[in-house]
Amino acid sequence: MADVFVSYARSDKARVAPLVAAIEAQGWSVWWDPEIEAGQQFDDQIEAELNAAKAVLVVWTATSVASRWVRGEAREAADRGVLVPARFDGARLPMDVRAIHTTDLDGWGENPASTPFQALLKALGTMIARQGGPGGNNGAAASNAQSTRIGICVLPFANMSGDPEQEYFSDGISEDVITDLSKVSALAVVSRNSAFMYKGKVVDVPKVARDLKVQYVLEGSVRKSGGRVRITAQLVDGASNDNVWAERYDRDLNDIFALQDEISEAIVKALKLKLLPEEKRAIEQRGTTNLDAYNLYLMARQHYATGNEGDIRRNEAIVRLCQRATEIDPNYAQAWALMALGQMLARMIRGGQVDDGLAAADRALALDPNLAAAHAVKARILSESGRHEEAGAEIEIALRLDPESFEVNRAAAYLRFRHKRLPEAARHFEKALSLMETDVSSPTMLISCYTALGDRDALRRVAQVTLTRAQKTLAQDPSNGAAMAFLCNALATLGQAESAKGWMQRALLIDPDNANMRYNFACALASQLNDPGGAIDLLGPLFERIGIGLLNHAKADPDLDPVRHDPRFQAMMAAAEKRLSAGNS
């Protein structure tokens, strides 16, 4: 019998699975998803496990609250005194369990180090210890479980090329090493976002290890010059600050793929781990073996990671770079998928003048049917075409293949947002926010979600994140219209109306034709600054040339609800729809 019984609604399985995995990683056994047929045997096993569990975790959502099975299991657990409730999306709890302290998990972001998850662990540990089990994640079982996986953080490799323009290459190497080591089942690798928080900083390795709860930290540097590359790397013991392994590689640039394999395998060997055959094959499987194509893809990837989805110039650059990469290597699935994303986003702004990206997405999937990013972008493309059922199927495949992907979570969030499923959209935007430290768009979308949901605490939190990230972007690119729009939205949300309007006026003088910026300013005026007339004035020129993607977004966007019934807004919408239906985009 298991330590923890998890009661949940079957439709919430994708949300509950990461939670279960994180609990199991603490050394506790979990019963939650029996692979047996419904019937008497099913009911008997549920009752047996429920009665034997040392703690019953009930995951409350809008769906599970309405489930008589979940409510019944919660009552049984409460009667036994083993109920540990948690909830998502601020679900309204059944009256008979409201008096029991409930952990809110909206901010856990599938991060075991997060405050909400640690609070849940404490509650579970206390309950299990009370029933005579290993209490807390410092118990013997938990220690044994933790020892089976070694925690490691790969810090961003420093760019030693003397050229800031080469930053994309050193970042790309760092990301590839993170990805490779993540394929080793014996390692627990810190996410890119957590690791990249230390980019450009002088770090205290033992402190990093303590903060991230890992045993080892990998540091390195990359110097790319002409046709040569020099990579230094050292694996440091987080407790003693001693080098466990260190090496310097000085190679021809064409050896970069073999070099990455060598680094990953050397780390595995230094940690005295055994690399399984399938893991070795997974590490050695590259999207391309052509250095020029790889270099172009890294450039395109950097444009995507450091920009904004509504920036037409950025999207066009992504498309050009990926087109060239696929000309060099027609079998480069990742480049085809990223090209499809760039085309889809450009079409949102430009309309029918731009390829919708479906052909590129299909090409990527023909080359690699398990490429989650390709399924994700195809879902968004299908959604823009009104093929919602097919889009839903594609995004579910993407989430199953790679629930930790930034692109996948962004796509899932947008699809939920378009269908006005705001709590689910917020969950995926939060996840995307946690996966990419340069993402300014996701926290801005969360401002829209939490404003509509009336969650003031979460609203203030994401507004502050937006402000910080937008300021950082503008420090590097003062004319970035998208960043100025996000900054304005954050300031308006935080009550700094005059400052927000000042930024708005400045930005419109610098980049008056930036469609995405103009749209976001209108949203801020309508939803945060109580100026619906100003919002409509800004939207007027935009709706004369708006693409179908942005028009569909405007239809669902709760930020525009204050102007939705204004006759001028309705006339603009009708005129845009008429123009687009006639093919005059």
What is the DSSP annotation of 119-177? HHHHHHHHHHHHTTS--STTSHHHHHHHHTSEEEEEPPPEE-SS-GGGHHHHHHHHHHH
Alpha-carbon gap, residue 500 to 471, rounded angstroms = 13
From first CA to last CA, the distance across the chain in angstroms is 62
Distance CA 215, CA 188 (A): 10
Q: Give the Å distances, CA to CA, from 496 to 174, 421, 467, 469, 527.
A: 38, 29, 12, 17, 14
Residue 33's pLDDT is: 67
CA pair distance 158, 561, nearest whole angstrom: 46
Is residue 197 classed as helix, strand or coil in its secondary structure?
A: coil
pLDDT of residue 76: 86
The single-letter code of the amino acid at 485 is: A
Of 349, 346, 309, 341, the C-alpha closest to 486 is: 309
What's residue 353's pLDDT? Answer: 65
pTM above 0.85, yes or no: no
Helix-helix angle 497-510:515-527, to 10 degrees: 160
Q: Are 6 and 17 in contact (CB under 8 A)?
A: no
Q: Exposed, middle or buried: residue 140 (CB in 10 Å: 0-12, 13-18, 19+)? A: exposed
Q: Are 375 and 401 in contact (CB under 8 A)?
A: yes
At residue 358's C-alpha, the angle toward residues 352 and 364, to 5°, is 145
Buried b (16+ CB within 10 A) or exposed e, 256-267: bbebbbbbbbbb
Q: Tell me what pLDDT residue 39 has.
A: 44
CB 222 within 8 A of CB 229: yes
Contacts of 80 (CB under 8 A, 6+ apart): 51, 56
Q: Note the pLDDT tens digit of each residue in 335-384.
A: 999 999 999 888 877 766 668 899 999 999 999 998 999 999 999 999 98
Both tokens assigned to 370 = 């398990």
Q: Copy the structure tokens of residue 578.
A: 């008429």
- Predicted local distance difference test score (pLDDT) of residue 308: 63
Q: What is the rounded CA–CA span in Å between residue 340 and residue 357? A: 4
What is the DSSP-derived secondary structure letter of residue 565? T
C-alpha–C-alpha distance, residues 163 and 433, integer Å: 29
Q: What stretch of H or E contains 111?
A: none
What one-letter code names the amino acid at 473? Answer: T
Segment holding 573, helix H or strand E: helix 567-581
Among candidate residues 394, 388, 398, 397, the one with its CA nearest the CA of residue 420: 388
Which pLDDT does position 345 carry in this prediction?
86
User: CA 178 to CA 330: how far, in whole Å?
Assistant: 26
Q: Which of 374, 370, 371, 372 is nearest to 357 (CA)?
A: 374
As a whole number of angstroms, the distance between CA 38 and CA 442 comes to 41
pLDDT the model gives residue 364: 96
Closest CA to 547 of 352, 261, 314, 393: 352
Tokens representing 48 are 């047996």
39: left (phi over 0), alpha (psi -120 to 50) or beta: left
Question: Is 321 within 8 Å of 299 (Cβ atoms)?
Answer: yes
Domains parsed from the chain with CATH numbers: 4-142 (3.40.50.10140), 150-286 (3.40.50.10070), 440-585 (1.25.40)
Token pair, residue 119, equals: 């609070």
Ranges of residues in the chain with a pLDDT under 50 are: 35-40, 135-147, 585
Which spans in 183-290 are helix H? 192-196, 205-212, 256-270, 277-284
- Indicate the DSSP class of residue 421: -
Residues belonging to the chain = 585
Return the ∠ at Cα 171 (arms to 189 and 173), rounded to 5°.
70
Predicted local confidence at residue 145, as pLDDT = 38
